[in-house]
Chains A and B, each alone.
Chain A
Amino acid sequence: MADPKKYDNRLGLKGWWGGGRWGFERYAYTLHRLTGLGLITYFVMHILVTSSRAFGADAWAEWMGNVAGPIFHVGEFLVVLSFIYHACNGIRLILVEFGFVVGKAEEPIYPYKTSLNKQRPLLIVMMILAALFVVAMGYDYWMLH
């Protein structure tokens, strides 16, 4: 494996916590990573727990009983929240990655414009969409079960 170029990751994990000149998008980035870490941790457990269905109704009931306490109930809703945020913010990131909603490239004439401001309405729309899903799934989760 070739050694990649070394760049000083000066702030390391500390860089996740300060938005600095990147503004609100930096906190969206940090939350995207935190929710991603939470989701992959849950997903590993989810694979192991739900695989019990292959062993029949008794195994399924036993495993569902093991994860039925109030801590798991609250934890599962946090997973739902994380998924909603990660998905909605992920849509924004993919659109920005492929060059949508950041405006056309133009000459840097003072006062300079930043593409961050061009895509910010999309961030707001995606967070409103996320809030709608949170309300719907929260109602289903806490009121109907």
Chain B
Amino acid sequence: MRETRFWTWHLLAGIAILIFGGLHMIVMHLDGILGWFNPAGGSALDWANVVVRSQGFLFPVVYIILLGVTLFHGFYGLRNILLELGIGRCGRVTVNILLVGGGIVLFTIGAVAAIKAMGV
């Protein structure tokens, strides 16, 4: 039952990534054609554009949501692939600990950076 619930979250996280990650990809990789959320012009990676996106309320919130759902979706998918290899009980526990621990550390780094960047 628990795995069914995780699988459903995996699918829902995929839909969230489709929306927020799709927006992120459009902002970053169609910047030359559309130029959305890049008021300074030029590349989406130019510091002036990065500052504008970092300082508003919308983008930091979207970044943190995207960070969480992508880490869950990606690490749960990786866990499924690893567990399918038949790595035994000890291996399963190790994989679970590494992925949950790694996910929490990466989420903390990314979320703190998004919040701190609001003040740059």
**Partner-B contacts on A (CB < 8 A):** 1, 3, 6, 9, 12-13, 33, 36-37, 39-40, 43-44, 47-48, 50-54, 56-57, 60-61, 64, 80, 83, 87, 90-91, 94, 97, 136-137, 139-141, 143-145
Q: Is the CB of B110 within 8 A of A51?
A: yes
B81 / chain A contacts, CB cutoff of 8 Å? 33, 37
Interface SS majority for chain A: helix
A83 / chain B contacts, CB cutoff of 8 Å? 21, 25
**Partner-A contacts on B (CB < 8 A):** 11, 14-15, 17-18, 21-22, 25, 29-33, 43, 45, 47, 50, 54, 67, 70-71, 74-75, 77-78, 81, 84-86, 89, 92-93, 106, 109-110, 112-114, 116-117, 120
Known: A87-B21, A87-B22. A80 touches B29 (CB 8 A): yes
Q: Is the CB of B11 within 8 A of A144?
A: no
Q: Is the CB of B45 within 8 A of A64?
A: yes
Give chain B nearest CB distance to A39 CB in angstroms.
7
Q: Is the CB of B77 within 8 A of A40?
A: yes
Rank and list the top 5 A-B pairs by shortest CB-CB distance, nearest first.
A144-B32, A51-B113, A40-B74, A54-B116, A54-B113
B31 / chain A contacts, CB cutoff of 8 Å? 140
B21 / chain A contacts, CB cutoff of 8 Å? 83, 87
Give chain A nearest CB distance to B117 CB in angstroms.
5
Chain B residue nearest to A94 (CB atoms) is: B11
Q: Is the CB of A136 within 8 A of B11?
A: no
A141 / chain B contacts, CB cutoff of 8 Å? 29
In the bound complex, what is the Cα–Cα distance between A13 and B81 (angstroms)?
A: 9
Chain B residue nearest to A58 (CB atoms) is: B47
In the bound complex, what is the Cα–Cα distance between A136 and B22 (angstroms)?
A: 14
A37 / chain B contacts, CB cutoff of 8 Å? 78, 81
Q: Is the CB of B109 within 8 A of A48?
A: yes
Chain B residue nearest to A56 (CB atoms) is: B120
Beyond contacts A40-B77, A50-B113: 20 other A-B pairs, Cβ-Cβ < 8 A, are: A1-B89, A9-B84, A36-B74, A36-B78, A40-B74, A47-B110, A48-B109, A51-B109, A51-B110, A52-B113, A53-B50, A54-B113, A54-B114, A54-B117, A87-B21, A90-B14, A139-B33, A140-B30, A141-B29, A144-B32
In the bound complex, what is the Cα–Cα distance between A43 and B22 (angstroms)?
A: 15
In the bound complex, what is the Cα–Cα distance between A47 and B70 (angstroms)?
A: 11
